[in-house]
Structure 1
Amino acid sequence: MAADIGGHSGSGAVFCAGPHGCDRPGRYCAPADAEQAIVHAGALSKSAHRSWEDFPAGYALGRVLRFDEEEYGPFYGQDALAHRLLAESEGSPWRHIAWR
């Protein structure tokens, strides 16, 4: 499957942001390498968090600490809204895909 990333449409290249699965993190890599990195990140997430609801709580806290100057400002509000919608929506993947 070709990815349309950064003008590389049709090349099959995908952007690999993490260090696992790609020999050049933060660069374009083969789709198989990107998939391996995603599966590895998922395994790490599952070992560190208890549920879908728990997972984004850590993300939101990190954004508050980094971007909202350790206050509950606009970044927290955006994350809280997304969290609520995902937790309450009947069509949410949180309700249809098991965490473990």
Structure 2
Amino acid sequence: MPEYVLFDIDSSPLPTYGNQEGKGFNYHYQAHDYHPKVCFDVLTENLLRTTLYDGTDYCSKDSSDFLKPLIAEYKKNYPFVHLTPKQRLPS
């Protein structure tokens, strides 16, 4: 486990075909899709968490709620890991 963790939250279109529940038309991608949110640790490139959203949701929707369980897990299981904003990482 590294000394520091840098969370990177992003989303990506996941195309749908047919009549899947929760799909939506995403105007940015001009497609019917889901819009899953993902969180990676930038330093290790590990996928830490993902949640499926419908295609009309923005990447930033509910981001703080998305991160809360992940931060709680790190604080409980890895108390020595610094959860520091990127601008505060040592050079």
TM-score normalised by L of structure 1: 0.28
Higher relative contact order by CA 8 Å / sep ≥ 6: 1 or 2?
2
Q: Considering only CA atoms, is the larger Rg found in Structure 1 or Structure 2?
A: 1
* Structure number having the greater strand percentage: 2
TM-score normalised by L of structure 2: 0.30
